Structure 1
Amino acid sequence: MNTKHIFYILALLAIAVTSTSNAAPLVNCGDYITTNVTLDSDLHCTSGYTALEVGANNITIDLNGHVLSGTSDLMGVLIHARNNVTIKNGWIRGFWGGINTARSDKLRIDNVSFYGMNQGLIMAGTDDGSVTNSDFINLNGTGVRIYTHSAFASADRNTIQNNEFYQVRVGVGICGTSAENNVIADNLMWKTVDNAIALNHANRNKISGNRILDQGDGAAIRINSSFYNDVFNNTLQTGQHSALSILANAASPCLEPAEQRSGKNRFYNNRVDGFDTAINLGLGTDSGRYIEGNGILSNQIHNSNIGIMFRSDAYSNYARDNNFTGTTTPIYDLGINNNY
């Protein structure tokens, strides 16, 4: 995975960028962008609602190695119902949110560092977008949030790949039953506070090839009231609680009625090392919330207190061909009809 070193990025952010270019047109705070623009210097904004708003399709904002910054009551870049927008090559910091998109398909974010803000990138009702080669550092909220913002919107086929997340509350969050077929792959996530990856009422997504290190208070990967998600070939190393937790109705839904089950998710060919409970299925309640038909297959589970925990609301799940090394209790089953 060709990712930049976080400490190198932090050092660059402490230095004022002084490079210039002859690009036109010039960019000012509050601009409504209707043509391609390239920053020729750092831009710091303190008034209004957004620093920049995209007002047309097929727009590229090239930060050109510069910093777009602002106060915590502003949004960095607003994109509403504009397709095929690209933002690349620079830093965004200090805002409440770095980039906020809604109903804007084919968004491209490449080589952008989001630093010192609440939310990094919000993708509401956005299809076919990509976030690559970017950094999310010291965020109080979520690095990349993908969700369905209305009953008629989808958030499908987005790719979050080859990025770094460091000291954020949630790395990538996907929410909504119309948020499907998204890919979270080949990212480095370390020291996330709640979850590195969280799926809530989200189906048929793929999580692969990620490295999740030094996980904080929550599960590294949290799947709630979701179906048919594949989690494979990830490395999850050291955390306070669980590497994977599959739950049912443990959080509010994204506009849809509250689903009472999580099922048919698969967790396979992963390496898990140094968690209290490596894999947790269920909340331990029997109020009609079921974790059923999930597969735990061919994982390497090392140096954990409990390898796989089936709680009392875990029904008819299966665990096969897993390897347990240095794990005190490989399987602890309080559920019903689980197979292993």
Structure 2
Amino acid sequence: MKAFITLALAALLAWHPNAHALACGDTLSSDTTLTADLHCTTGWNALYMPVGGVTLRLNGHTISGGIGLEGVSVFTASNVRILGPGRITGFWTGVNATRADYLTVQGVDFDNTSAGIIASDTLGTFLQGNDFRNINGWGVYIFAYPGASRSVLGAHTIADNLVLESVGGIFICGHANSDNLLKNNTLQGIRDYGIHLLDGSGKNQVRGNQLLKIENTGLVLRGSRDNTIKSNKFEYGYAGIAMIPQFTGGCPTGPYASADVRDNLIEGNSIFKQTTGIAAGLGGKGGALVQKNRIGYNKLYYDGTGIYFNTDTYANDATLNAYTGTTTPVDDHGVSNTW
């Protein structure tokens, strides 16, 4: 009798609502658990989720397909959850979400896609514990549509993810996409930028991330203000952090008429073996475009140049940094910078 009760309990715990094999192109309108792998080569997507509040559990299975398809498409549906363990591979994007507020993607492995997760015009995504490997574009790509976006998006949490051997890491674009938390992510073997905050995305918290062997730049603040960049580790690359006063035009910049990079706190980071540890400004005669940033208590060890201030920098405070083994601690061509 005891054995029967134990088996019944195990079966109950393993059961999920609507657990069955799916067909390519299925629309999910209620909680669903995969019971088999799904491979798709025709149509628009493997699975379509247009209904809010629905959870998809991969249940250890793989969704795979061709480069012309989306893996899971979430459209105008809030509070959707896509939960691992499980794998999404082969598509042009693993998860493509549009106006999918409070989307959760957790514990999913993405590989050999053109993009891992795309979230457009979406508020409050929660992306945690996912693996992105061999992505031909960006692991996470969050943006606001030019001319059509809501004024408030952002508040995204991107934490504890791994992006490995991919073209780009994490991309967040547009003033509406501000107030985000990027924490404890590991990005390694990235061929372009590790983290790119651009076109007015500001007030972000970037904490405790590891950016290792980034061929271009670990973290780029492009027309981005009021960020806290703290306790991150940058090792082996061209540049650890770059502050670039430039808008790309890819996303709405909100109230900002100028691409100033200012009022950022860059503190307590370890920046090792970069050609340039922190690069500020583009130069030229554009005026004081990188200004009033606080750069302190960082370890800039064994870099070629620790901090480079170009001619368009002004009144940045770079005191109280350490430069063990760095050939040129500070190269300053700006005005009123302190170090």
Same topology, TM > 0.5: yes
What is the letter of the counterpart of residue 293 of structure 2?
Answer: N
8 Å CA contact 1:248, 1:289 repeated in 2 = no
Taking only the aligned residue pairs, the percentage that are identical comes to 31
Query: Residues 29 and 289 (structure 1 numbering): CA distance in 2 closer, same or farther, change over 3 Å?
Result: farther
Q: CA deviation at 1:255?
A: 2.9
What is the letter of the counterpart of residue 251 of structure 2?
Answer: C
8 Å CA contact 1:249, 1:289 repeated in 2 = no
Calculate the aligned-residue CA RMSD, in Å.
1.6
Residue 84 of structure 1 corresponds to 79
Residue 43 of structure 1 corresponds to 38
Residue 209 of structure 2 corresponds to 210
Q: Over residues 286-334 of structure 1, what are the superposed CA-to-partner deviations in whole Å (9 max), with x where a residue is unaligned?
A: 2357111111111011000100000011111110210110001100001
Distance 2:155 2:244 in 1: 24
Instruction: Give the aligned length.
Output: 319
What is the letter of the counterpart of residue 266 of structure 2?
Answer: F
Residue 110 of structure 2 is aligned to residue 107 of structure 1: no
Residue 25 of structure 2 is aligned to residue 27 of structure 1: no
Q: Over residues 69-127 of structure 1, what are the superposed CA-to-partner deviations in whole Å (9 max), with x where a residue is unaligned?
A: 11000011111110111101110000000101111111111110110010110111222
2:239 corresponds, among 238, 242, 265, to 242
Q: Which moved more, 1:312-321 or 1:272-281?
A: 312-321
Distance 1:259 1:231 in 2: 22
Residue 185 of structure 1 corresponds to 183
Q: TM-score, normalised by structure 2?
A: 0.90
Report 1:1-340 matches (<5 A): 24-89=19-84, 90-149=86-145, 150-201=148-199, 202-216=201-215, 218-239=216-237, 241-249=238-246, 251-256=248-253, 259-288=258-287, 290-340=289-339
Q: TM-score, normalised by structure 1?
A: 0.90
Determine which structure has more spread, i.e. the larger CA radius of gyration.
2
Structure 2: give runs of 5+ residues left out of the alignment: 1-13
8 Å CA contact 1:70, 1:94 repeated in 2 = yes
Distance 1:117 1:196 in 2: 17
What is the letter of the counterpart of residue 165 of structure 2?
Answer: Q
What is the letter of the counterpart of residue 39 of structure 1?
Answer: L
What is the letter of the counterpart of residue 306 of structure 2?
Answer: G
What is the letter of the counterpart of residue 81 of structure 1?
Answer: T
Residue 6 of structure 2 corresponds to none
Distance 1:289 1:112 in 2: 44
Distance 1:134 1:267 in 2: 27
What is the letter of the counterpart of residue 309 of structure 1?
Answer: Y
What is the letter of the counterpart of residue 243 of structure 1?
Answer: G
- Give the secondary-structure state (helix, strand or coil) at the position aligned to 1:172: strand
Distance 1:169 1:258 in 2: 31
Distance 2:258 2:44 in 1: 36
What is the letter of the counterpart of residue 260 of structure 1?
Answer: A
Q: CA deviation at 1:250?
A: 5.6
Distance 1:258 1:60 in 2: 41
Distance 1:93 1:154 in 2: 32
Residue 11 of structure 2 corresponds to none
- Give the secondary-structure state (helix, strand or coil) at the position aligned to 2:154: coil
8 Å CA contact 1:27, 1:38 repeated in 2 = no
Q: CA deviation at 1:153?
A: 4.7
Query: Residues 151 and 297 (structure 1 numbering): CA distance in 2 closer, same or farther, change over 3 Å?
Result: same
Residue 3 of structure 2 corresponds to none
Structure 1: give runs of 5+ residues left out of the alignment: 1-19
- Give the secondary-structure state (helix, strand or coil) at the position aligned to 2:100: coil
What is the letter of the counterpart of residue 177 of structure 2?
Answer: A
Query: Residues 250 and 331 (structure 1 numbering): CA distance in 2 closer, same or farther, change over 3 Å?
Result: farther
8 Å CA contact 1:212, 1:220 repeated in 2 = yes
Distance 2:39 2:318 in 1: 53
8 Å CA contact 1:190, 1:215 repeated in 2 = yes
What is the letter of the counterpart of residue 245 of structure 1?
Answer: A
What is the letter of the counterpart of residue 273 of structure 1?
Answer: F
Q: CA deviation at 1:263?
A: 0.9
Distance 2:288 2:89 in 1: 41
- Give the secondary-structure state (helix, strand or coil) at the position aligned to 2:135: strand
